[in-house]
Amino acid sequence: MQNKNYYLTYPELEKEISSGKLKPAYYVAADDNFFMNKFCKLLLKKIAGSEDSKENYFVKYADELSYEEFIDLCSNFSSLFSSQKIVVIRKCEKFGRKLEDVLVYSYSPDPDTTLILAFNKDYVEEKKLNKTLEFYDFTELPESEYIRWVSGEFNLRGCNIGDEEIDLFISLVPMNFDLAVHEMDKISSYLGDGGIKQVTRDIILKMTGYDTEYTPYDLMSSVVTKDRHRAMEVLDYLLNRGSINEVFLVSLISNYLMDLMAFHRENLQNKKPGEIYRDYKLWGDRIIFVKNHQNYGKNRNYEFAFERILYTDQSLKNSMLDSKVLITSLVQDLMNI
């Protein structure tokens, strides 16, 4: 065990395994499947010689086996042709009171077993498991790594995509890898199989559920300029035809306002996008928004704005109130600050 309170990333894990460094047990925070599946294929190729091999490869959920069955799984079921096993246990928080016994075993598992214990990230942080165990975070990537990942995944699908289009895609699609890959597949399929598959701004907006004149950017631009008719028109489109997730829309609204609050005193007008990203980690429509509306940032009641955003977010998640009414009320209040 090591005294850590941070996470290692998937690219770091990939480098370790590619260099031949294998551990008896891996601890993973994973809320979706993309990097879990990729990790398991990488291990299978390293240990079994093929990512398609299912020999001595077991995937179980903690709520479907007892501690004793877990030990048996790690100790038995070896193939006649190989003694090496890969045992993956998902949702390990479901072990409950037996989790401590599982963790103690994982410090020195059966020598023929490579053990992967996957947890919900919220549980890891609630129990502070990452302070004593070396955890790999499969739920997110650092911004620079995520940009490279998005670019690489589009390229794997035969798509050309520019930096500004990558920024737009990242600003519209939450950092959920299964969801992001799903959206990339939709865009790739839309572009077909013939010729150069060039990903444009309009295609991204179209395939992620936005019209080119009805985007979260257009909504917030209307809010800060107090164009009530336009704001309600865009909001109606996003909620009723664009099918945007309401919680995600609230997070985007919050991001736009935080950008204004943080950068209204900075002179970004003469800076290039690359410089702004390097210095301030702004990109895509967020740069355009701050440049176009920096004056709005002066003398605004941000405390009230973020109180309303927090209330709306919590109400969407925890109450039975109509989500569209909540969002509409939030937008109207933001135009009054």
- pLDDT by 10-residue block (mean), the chain, 337 residues: 67 91 94 92 89 86 93 74 83 95 95 94 93 93 92 95 92 84 91 86 84 86 93 92 82 86 68 65 71 72 90 92 94 91
Q: Is residue 311 part of a domain?
A: yes
Query: 320 and 253, same structural domain?
Result: yes
Q: Is residue 142 part of a domain?
A: no
pLDDT value of position 213:
84
pLDDT value of position 271:
66
Q: Is residue 173 part of a domain?
A: yes
pLDDT value of position 143:
87
Domain end marker among 137, 172, 194 = 137
Q: Is residue 115 part of a domain?
A: yes
pLDDT value of position 1:
41
Query: 236 and 189, same structural domain?
Result: no
- CATH code: domain of residue 222: 1.20.272.10
Query: 170 and 222, same structural domain?
Result: no
Q: Name the residue among 257, 255, 252 with its Cα closest to residue 327.
A: 252
Q: How many domains does the chain have?
A: 3
Q: Is residue 271 part of a domain?
A: yes
Q: In the 3-class helix/strand/coil scheme, how is the chain assigned residue by residue?
A: CCCCCCEEEHHHHHHHHHCCCCCCEEEEECCCCHHHHHHHHHHHHHHCCCCCCCCCEEEEEHHHCCHHHHHHHHHCCCCCCCCCEEEEEECHHHHHHHHHHHHHHHCCCCCCEEEEEEECHHHHHHCCHHHCCCEEECCCCCHHHHHHHHHHHHHHCCEEECHHHHHHHHHHCCCCHHHHHHHHHHHHHHHCCCCCEEECHHHHHHHCCCECCECHHHHHHHHHCCCHHHHHHHHHHHHHCCCCCHHHHHHHHHHHHHHHHHHCCCCCCCCCHHHHHHHHCCCCHHHHHHHHHHHHHCCCCHHHHHHHHHHHHHHHHHCCCCHHHHHHHHHHHHCCC
pLDDT value of position 184:
94
Domain end marker among 75, 105, 137 = 137
Nearest-5° Cα angle at 165, 163 to 170: 95
Query: 195 and 244, same structural domain?
Result: no
What's the pLDDT tens digit per position in 143-201? 889 999 999 999 999 999 999 999 889 888 878 898 899 899 999 998 887 778 999 99
pLDDT value of position 128:
93
Give me the domain span that covers residue 168.
156-207
pLDDT value of position 280:
65
Q: Is residue 235 part of a domain?
A: yes
Query: 133 and 163, same structural domain?
Result: no
Residues 136 and 28 sit within 8 Å (Cβ to Cβ): yes
Query: 120 and 91, same structural domain?
Result: yes
pLDDT value of position 119:
96
Domain end marker among 109, 137, 165 = 137
- CATH code: domain of residue 106: 3.40.50.300
Q: Is residue 107 part of a domain?
A: yes
Q: Is residue 262 part of a domain?
A: yes
Query: 227 and 197, same structural domain?
Result: no
Query: 87 and 165, same structural domain?
Result: no
Query: 30 and 11, same structural domain?
Result: yes
Query: 302 and 190, same structural domain?
Result: no
Tokens of 86: 């890969």
Query: 64 and 18, same structural domain?
Result: yes
Query: 105 and 176, same structural domain?
Result: no
Predicted structure pTM score: 0.69
